Amino acid sequence: MRGPRYNPGMTAVFGHLNPDTDAITAALVYANLLRRQGLDATPYRLGELNFETAFVLREAGVDAPELLTSLPEGSAVALVDHNESAQSLPGLKGLNVTHVVDHHRLGDLETTQPATLRFDPVGCTATILLRLHLEANLPVEPLDARLMLSAVLSDTLHFRSPTTTAADREAVAFLAQVAGVQDVTAYALAMFAAKSDLGDTPASTLLKMDYKVFPFGAQKWGVGVIETTNPAYVFGRQAELLAAMQAEKGVSGLDGLVLSVVDILNETNRTIVTGESEAAVLGEAFAAVTVDHVADLGDRISRKKQIVPTLEAYFAR
């Protein structure tokens, strides 16, 4: 339970664990939208900001939402940018999910009451949030526009990802104007540079910065991603990362653990595999060749669209 500022009447709005820019900004923007519509909503985060998100909030002059680690049973929650319990606040099944705004596959979502659910197959939660503003006839506030713009650029890797839709491109054009961002390309490159400036971040932190756990049939896999403009830096730390992955796999009782290193500018994915069993699965599922714990996944840069569905199909057969 949180401290004295917790208000039992309010709705807690949050994105997934190991939050990315979309998870954080969607919580901020959706909480503001719900407040403008008369609901007592408060944004939260379920983890530390990554370097890109820290840059986005700093440039926007916005404080990070407070960290949330648990809520009393029955609390009202609005989920953004996720819906699966494995990616959410521990104990989600005991909470009252009143709203979901998401662009991922539907997982094990359960609600105790009729809920407001909005799922669109677009590249970013922010693209849906923009639609919700327009549908409600509410003007987009410039600060929210800046946050949503950042999220779409982040999730779509500025339209490089195959998850990108026409709606995401239109959203960026509209939001950039409202936010007063003149040079979208330069802004996106600055975001990606901030994300890639990993310094001496511990390997265990790098592994978990963009990390999700998925049930695949009877198996449980961890799939991490490092999107970077400087893959050489990441592979320079491959031995450390591998040790962190082996430790995590043991501690979490996972059946498989892989870490995709996505070269944003060249649009390639070289994935570090924890061991032989992961290499065998990627070999069969993707026809990927693994050399020295690195599987070449070619141009499959989207975990959501190109990695997870293939693994899911592989384990289903």
Q: CB of residue 211 vs Mn ion: minimum separation in angstroms?
A: 14
In the bound state with Mn ion, the residue whose beta carbon lies nearer, of 6 and 119, is 119
**Segment interacting with Mn ion (CB under 5 A) among 38-46, 55-63, 125-133, 282-290:** 125-133
Among 155, 168, 210, 227, binds Mn ion (CB under 5 A): 155
**Segment interacting with Mn ion (CB under 5 A) among 19-27, 72-80, 83-91, 128-136:** 19-27
Q: CB of residue 16 vs Mn ion: minimum separation in angstroms?
A: 8
Q: CB of residue 79 vs Mn ion: minimum separation in angstroms?
A: 12
Please provide residue 203's backbone torsions phi and psi, each rounded to the nearest 5 degrees: -60, -35
Q: CB of residue 154 vs Mn ion: minimum separation in angstroms?
A: 8
In the bound state with Mn ion, the residue whose beta carbon lies nearer, of 103 and 270, is 103
Q: CB of residue 47 vs Mn ion: minimum separation in angstroms?
A: 15
**Segment interacting with Mn ion (CB under 5 A) among 17-25, 265-273, 293-301, 309-317:** 17-25
- Which amino acid belongs to residue 222? G
Binding mask 156-195 for Mn ion (x = CB under 5 A): ----------------------------------------
In the bound state with Mn ion, the residue whose beta carbon lies nearer, of 27 and 64, is 27
In the bound state with Mn ion, the residue whose beta carbon lies nearer, of 192 and 286, is 192
> Ramachandran region of residue 137, left (φ > 0), alpha (ψ -120 to 50) or beta?
left
Q: CB of residue 156 vs Mn ion: minimum separation in angstroms?
A: 9
Task: State yes or no: residue 144 binds Mn ion (CB under 5 A).
Answer: no
**Cα gap 106→181, rounded to integer Å:** 34
Q: Which residue is nearest to Mn ion (CB)?
A: 22
**Cα gap 260→304, rounded to integer Å:** 12
Among 22, 84, 102, 144, binds Mn ion (CB under 5 A): 22
Binding mask 270-289 for Mn ion (x = CB under 5 A): --------------------
Binding mask 72-91 for Mn ion (x = CB under 5 A): ---------x----------
In the bound state with Mn ion, the residue whose beta carbon lies nearer, of 15 and 222, is 15
Longest dimension (CA), the chain: 56
Instruction: Give the count of residues interacting with Mn ion (CB under 5 A).
Output: 4
Q: CB of residue 168 vs Mn ion: minimum separation in angstroms?
A: 11
Which DSSP string do the residues of the chain spell out, in sequence order?
Answer: ---TT--TTSEEEE--SS--HHHHHHHHHHHHHHHHTT--EEEEESSPPPHHHHHHHHHHT-PPPEE-----TT-EEEEES---GGGS-TTGGGSEEEEEEE-S---S---SS--EEEE--SS-HHHHHHHHHHHTT-PPPHHHHHHHHHHHHHHTTTTTSTT--HHHHHHHHHHHHHHT-S-HHHHHHHHHHHHH--TT--HHHHHHTTEEEEEETTEEEEEEEEEES-HHHHHTTHHHHHHHHHHHHHHHT-SEEEEEEEETTTTEEEEEESSHHHHHHHHHHH---EETTEEE-TT---IIIIIHHHHHHHHH-
Q: What residue ranges bind Mn ion (CB under 5 A)?
A: 22, 81, 125, 155
